[in-house]
Each structure stands twice: as structure tokens, then as C-alpha cells.
Amino acid sequence: RKEVEQDPGPFNVPEGATVAFNCTYSNSASQSFFWYRQDCRKEPKLLMSVYSSGNEDGRFTAQLNRASQYISLLIRDSKLSDSATYLCVVTSGMDTGRRALTFGSGTRLQVQP
């Protein structure tokens, strides 16, 4: 079983739609949670961190449920420029506070005009 699981998609949605991505993680010791965005043949870039209290950044809302080990990303009013792969990322603790990022395989979003 993968440590971070995501639906690979693709999600094909019209402009203006609301789309939700889900992610589950298996390591209950994971400490930090993120969504990264990766455009085709480019490097991943941090979209937003995810907190237990939930957080919002413009059209993007992220939620974390530690009890269910579940992370979500909601995109409202989708734009053509939102087309990308969205990577769910958790930190896996290593000893003495060192950390690695553990990525899901990504969910591809295609926003149609």
C-alpha cells in the first residue's frame, strides 16, 4: 500500500466549476501536510500548507482530518490556468527531527473552456 494515495484522475471540469481532490495517508506519525502543484514537465511548487483547523487561500480551501488520515483540496470557480497535477504531500518523520516529503502520485486536473 502506498503511503499517500490519491485518485489519479484526470478530472475534466468546465471553467467556473468547483472541484474537490481527496488524499489519504497511512503513516499516523506524519506531521506536516501540503498540496503542491506541478505543471506539465515542470517542477512541483507549493500551493498551500494544510492545517487541522482548515485553511483558505483565495479560491483554494484545504482541510485535514487527522483521525481519518484524510486531506482534501477544494478549488472554486476553476480557471483554465488551474489545469495541472495536484500532489498531496506529507512529511515522514525521521530521527532527530529530520524530514522527507512523501508525495502521492498526483491528481490531474484539466479545466475546459
Q: Which stretch binds other proteins (CB under 8 A): 14-22, 54-62, 70-78, 92-100?
A: 92-100
How far apart are alpha carbons 104 and 24 in whole angstroms?
9
Q: How far is the CB of 49 from other proteins (least distance, A)?
A: 8
Kindly list the strands in the beta sheet with 60-65, ordered across the sheet, starting from the edge strand earlier in the chain.
Answer: 4-6, 19-25, 70-75, 60-65, 55-57
Q: How far is the CB of 63 from other proteins (least distance, A)?
A: 19
Q: Does 14 bind other proteins (CB under 8 A)?
A: no
Which cell numbers in the block locate residue 63?
Answer: 482541510
Site string for other proteins, 15-34 (x = CB under 8 A): ----------------xx--
Measure the N-to-C terminal CA separation of the chain; round to a whole number of Å: 37
Q: How far is the CB of 92 from other proteins (least distance, A)?
A: 8
How far apart are alpha carbons 44 and 37 in whole angstroms?
6
User: Would you tell me which residues interact with other proteins (CB under 8 A)?
Assistant: 4, 8, 31-32, 42-46, 87, 91, 94, 97-106
